[in-house]
Chains A and B, each alone.
Chain A
Amino acid sequence: MIQRISRRTLLRGAAGVGIGLPLLEAMLPHSARGATATAARRILFVFQANGDQPSRRFIDAGETTFTFDEFLAPLEPYRKDLLLLNRLDRRYSKFAQNERADGHQQGGASLAPWKAGAGAFPIGGADRTVGYVLGPSADYAIGDRVLQANPSVPQRHLVFRVNTKENNIWDVSSHAGPVGQQNPVNPQTDPYNAYTSLFAADSKDPAVIAALSKRIAMKQSALDNALGEIGTLRGKLGTADQQRLDQHTQALRDIERSLSAASGSACNPQPFSGLKLNVYDDTNHADLGQMFFKISAWAFACDHTRSINFNWSGNTSNRVYTNLGLTDGHHDISHISDDDAFAKIRAIHKHLWQQSVTLHDLLKSTPDGPGGTLWDNTLVVHWNELGQGDIHSENDALVVLAGGAGGHFKMGRLLDFHNQRSFADMLVSCFQYMGFSDVMSFGDPLLNSGGPLPNLTA
């Protein structure tokens, strides 16, 4: 079953560091899924921070005649596969002050449209501390539905973030829930570790295969042992501790599925070659993003997961884009309302869009399903925690849906919702795209209109 990947190409990163990139076609279409008549649908969220300048998004805002202004211009080559959702409202101000964090924090949890809990941070609420949101994010909940329907898919979701290691209310966008519980999902921040945990070493050497199988047996035995112990402990503890152990149990089951996948099919891309990058060296920001994109494409192609949450940073990111000649942090700049500051914000977003669309190219070049590519079967959801940065607007959100997305959406259009529909409605549309048409609401009812966004589908 082990499929060799022999051909490689060398990709030059922005910093001139060579990163070996296997051609994904080597893995496909003869892998296990090659025989499937229709390819699975995938979803990938891509986050960039601090809001933008809504008045400079489009020169012409016609539904099909739209013209991008400068900072969105990198999207132009993909326009026929884009659905631009302009001016969605997050509606958090419908929550009482003690039920929501500030614009960045609550907006940074837009994928998890629930009220904020208490207890984690002394800034942001009104007269109490503010906590993480009290429910799951869409990347998690969609992944959960995928697993229920397809128990062989090993990973519920994957969560990646570039560079920053801290996990707080400003840095985490994925949440596991369940509803009523604060349970942030801390992301993978190291693409090398992500590779190691997703893909086993690829070899035909019987000794290597035997060693791998021994390691897997050792792990399975230990996980069984731990699951038994957790079960015994659980019965002796209170509710909060039980919830913690239930999460642990679920994590171990996730790893068991990964081990089965590692020992079963073998869809193993070559490891990254070349000089190993320091994953917390800020100058590697763009290259690290590219590496996570490749891992995302491999994980989709190998059907390790169907839901991915990628973040160029945490919300409120104060990264200094020295590569653009800037000296102040992104968030600091975003707080200033003059033309000079907005020009810098546009430059940052243009740079991030230039980086993000390389994901589109990667999906387009990765074979998937009969005669198609990953792009045909994937929905990329580009989002931000704010509308306009300087005033921290909770409305005026721009969401860019990109990809063939299995033909679910009628692409090539710009739709302006005039802040009459919500960000959560958009997430409902994502569930429906993934085949979960029973989902008519996601998150707190106050943030939903009831049903998906209108006029999106083909």
Chain B
Amino acid sequence: MVVSSSRFLAQLGVWAALLALSACDAQSSSTTPTTPGAAGQTPDEVLASAACQMPAPGRAPLRRLSNAEYRNTLTDLLGDSPTTQALLAAATNSFPSETESLGFRNNADYLGVSTLVAQGYVDAAEQLLDSIATNTRLLSCTPTAGAEMDCARAFIGRFGKLAFRRPLTAEESTQYEALFQKSLTGYDFASAVRATAFAFLQSPKFLYRVEFGAAPSPAVSRPTAYEMANRLSYLFWQSMPDQALFDAAEQNQLTTPAQLEAQARRMLKDPKAARLLEYFDEWLGTDTLPSTFTRDATLYPNLDPNLPSLFQQETRTFVSDILSRPEGSLSELFTAPYTFANGALAEHYGLSGPAGAEFVKVDAPGRSGVLTQGMLLARDKTTRTSIVRRGLKIRLDVLCELVPAPPPNVNLTLDSESTASLTQRARLEQHRTSAACSGCHNLMDPVGVVFEGFDAVGRARSADERGLAVDTTSTIGNTRDANGPANSPAQLGQLLAQSEEVKSCYLTKSFRFFYGRDADPADACSVAQLAKSFKGTAYSLSELLVALTQTDAFQYLPARAAEAP
């Protein structure tokens, strides 16, 4: 059911750093191909292949709403306001966090409805019923005695369309009217409204994004107009369609690539597009900082108690700015010598300029985009930086490599008394004299040491936790095309920014989050379409979001088995 990225990349001929355990144990120079695999093809060659002459959409699994999508959908359904947001935050507080897969929490293959999740849906919906029953936008009529069902029908039609994100079928209208009628028999009109709304919110047609497609051919079909409205709205807003999308669906205006592109550009300008920053939060690991960032108060005294949130806000503001400009590129993400800070964060970093609560752009010499933001600190330790984990994070999340687990039965003395006078770098170098360790640590440590000029709370430094001078000189190796000397995050950023391996990784990450699944061999054409667009727009991050609407994976779906002839 779940296909590994390595198989997919191998299929595409894109070189992936497959660091097999045996290879990792050996000296790594022998593990690194210097050219793309034998089957390597450029995006143009892939697109010219026979397989891409017909739409090839890959899988389209049933997607349960993620917790964020559930919150956003009901926020928009009820009418966005601070009150609604607070209500939804409280109502969904009991939802278990989604099962993580490949760095994201929205993978359809892992988004099921367990008993605890189902209980959460029951409890949450119950808390929303007052605000639904008193919402005149949703319930605009007043029932008259004996003719309650007239008003009920209006409510069911309106609420049902919002909950299912498409007009109800006649059969569904009848079904929910019967449910209403049954509740009305036992109780009063208001209770029947509540019971009906509650039933809508437990429906699989609300909780999942159900797609059957229109007019299937034997292999492939297009999403219906309303299904396409949902694909667009959940991609850009992580939420239900707005009225403009409903109207466009009603008029069948969501069909051509140009129509989809126009909608994409409109939607990116909407404030709701800020919700897609969830992607960057989950990719870079800043989403869990508020719950996982702990630092020893003796070694790091007087930290701002909101520091994790400040880091999160910094990255969100920084990325939003890049997305707001068509020329804002992947390169800028890793190399920007500026950041965004408010007064508190600027003071923490020792940057001058910003004051007050608002985040503003500030020059930050020596810093290098997201590489020196909260991402850097997500895996540090409570008392010190972690060269290994910083390097590992770049390998896994920026280069999309696989790194094997440490071997068993290794005696670890990295932090023992006998090495107290050595820097972390020197201790790791001792460590790497062991053949069992050197293979993998040669991948992680040389990347991690370039960050040693930044402490475990993200401030520039020249001496480490033990007062020893830090040495950040390094040579990056064992990558496809990001090798070379690097003595700072800025120099590493330059290596990463020009790397095809990094660009390919970014596409893989974007595919996973925005399509809610891992790419597999059947997605070769869609990935080639994305790669071609990405290059053609000089690696613009916002243009890539538009390009996500132009692929076979987005514009088609496989015909459902039961409907195939």
Tell me the A residues contacting B by CB distance below 8 Å. 97, 101-103, 105, 117-129, 131-132, 155-156, 159, 164-169, 172, 176, 181-190, 193, 196-197, 214-215, 217-219, 221-223, 225-226, 229-230, 233, 235-238, 240-241, 244-245, 247-248, 250-252, 254-255, 258, 280, 282, 320, 327-329, 332, 335-338, 340-341, 390-394
B residues near A (Cβ < 8 Å) are 1-7, 18-22, 61-62, 64, 93-94, 96-103, 107, 109-110, 112-119, 122-123, 126, 175, 179, 182-183, 186-187, 191, 194-195, 198-199, 201-205, 210, 212, 288, 291-292, 294, 296, 298-299, 381-383, 392, 396, 400-406, 408-417, 518, 560-563
**Is A336 touching B6 in the complex (CB atoms < 8 A)?**
no
Chain B residues within 8 Å of A172, by CB: 99
Write out the residue numbers on chain B whose beta carbons fall within 8 Å of the beta carbon of A196.
Answer: 123
Q: Is the CB of B102 within 8 A of A127?
A: no
Asked whether A127 lies within 8 Å of B20 as measured between CB atoms, the reply is yes
Q: List 27 A-B contacts (CB under 8 A).
A: A105-B405, A119-B1, A119-B109, A120-B107, A122-B102, A122-B403, A123-B396, A123-B405, A124-B405, A126-B22, A127-B21, A129-B5, A159-B116, A167-B98, A182-B109, A218-B198, A222-B202, A233-B204, A240-B1, A244-B62, A244-B113, A251-B113, A251-B114, A336-B415, A392-B406, A392-B409, A393-B408
Selected contact of B404 from candidates A125, A280, A282, A332, CB within 8 Å:
A125
**Residue in chain A with minimal CB distance to B379:** A318
Indicate the member of A222, A320, A332, A393 with the most B CB atoms within 10 Å: A222
Query: How far, in angstroms, from A240 to B100 measured CA to CA in the complex?
Result: 18
Q: Are B119 and A221 in contact (CB under 8 A)?
A: no
* Contact pick for B2, options A120, A214, A340, CB 8 Å: A120
Chain A residues closer than 8 Å to B408, beta-carbon distance:
103, 391-394
Asked whether, in the complex, the Cβ of B383 is within 8 Å of the Cβ of A182, the reply is no
Nearest neighbor of B518 in chain A, beta-carbon distance: A119
Q: Which of A222, A241, A245, A248 contacts B199 (CB 8 A)?
A: A222
Quick one: which of A120, A245, A394 contacts B110, CB cutoff 8 A? A120
B171–chain A nearest beta-carbon distance, Å: 10
- Least Cβ–Cβ distance between B199 and chain A, in angstroms: 4
Given the contacts A188-B116, A235-B562, A241 and B61 also touching, CB distance less than 8 Å: yes
In this complex, what residue of A is CB-closest to B98? A167
Assess the A186–B414 pair: CB atoms within 8 A: no
- Cross-interface CB contact of A221 among B179, B291, B401, cutoff 8 Å: B179
Q: Is the CB of B199 within 8 A of A282?
A: no
B204 CB contact (under 8 Å) in A165, A230, A250: A230
**Are the C-beta atoms of B126 and A254 separated by less than 8 Å?**
no
For A393, the chain B residues whose CB sits under 8 A away are 408-409
Q: Which residue in chain A gives the minimum CB-CB distance to B6?
A: A128
Q: Are A186 and B198 in contact (CB under 8 A)?
A: no
CB–CB B212/A236 < 8 A: yes
A225 to B179, CA, bound (A): 8
Cβ-closest chain B residue relative to A242: B62
List of B residues within 8 angstroms of A336 by Cβ: 412-416
Q: Is the CB of B210 within 8 A of A332?
A: no
A310–B195 alpha-carbon span in the complex (Å): 35
Q: Is the CB of B116 within 8 A of A248?
A: no
In the complex, what distance in Å separates the CA atom of A240 from the CA atom of B108?
A: 10
When the two chains form the complex, which single residue of A123, A190, A235, A394 contacts B392, counting CB atoms closer than 8 Å?
A123
Q: Out of A221, A247, A320, which one reaches B182, CB within 8 Å? A: A221
CB pair A186 B102 closer than 8 Å: no
Query: Pick the contact of B402 from A122, A165, A166, A189 — CB < 8 Å?
Result: A122
B118 near A229 with CB under 8 A, answer no
| A residues near B103, Cβ cutoff 8 Å | 122
Rounded to whole angstroms, the CA-CA distance of A127 and B18 in the bound complex is 6
CB pair A166–B288 under 8 Å, yes or no, is: yes
Is A236 in contact with B123, judged by CB distance below 8 angstroms?
no
Given contacts A118-B2, A122-B5, A248-B113, 16 further A-B pairs with CB under 8 A are: A105-B405, A119-B1, A119-B102, A120-B101, A127-B19, A164-B291, A165-B96, A168-B99, A176-B114, A182-B1, A183-B112, A236-B563, A237-B62, A258-B119, A337-B412, A338-B413
Please name all residues of chain B whose beta carbon is closer than 8 Å to the beta carbon of A184 when the two chains form the complex: 99, 110
Residues in A whose Cβ lies below 8 Å from that of B114 = 176, 185-186, 247, 251
- B186 A217 Cβ-Cβ under 8 A: yes
Complex-state Cα separation, A390 to B409, whole angstroms: 8
Contacts of B22 in A (CB 8 A): 126
What separation, in Å, do the CA atoms of A241 and B194 have in the docked complex? 30
Residues of A contacting B119 with CB < 8 Å? 197, 255, 258
- In Å, the complex CA distance between A218 and B197 comes to 10
- Whether B404 and A119, one on each chain, are in contact in the complex, defined by CB atoms closer than 8 angstroms, is no
Residues of A within 8 A of B194 (CB): 218
Shortest distance between the CB of B398 and any CB in chain A (Å): 12
Q: Is the CB of A125 within 8 A of B402?
A: yes
What is the CA–CA distance of A226 and B4 in the complex, to the nearest angstrom? 33
**Chain B residues near A117 (CB, 8 Å)?**
2
A335, B296: Cα distance in complex, Å: 19
In the bound complex, residues from chain A placing their C-beta under 8 Å from that of B294 are 282, 320, 329
Q: How far is the CA of A341 from the CA of B183 in the complex (A)?
A: 64
CA distance A255 to B202 in the complex (A): 12
A280 touches B298 (CB 8 A): no
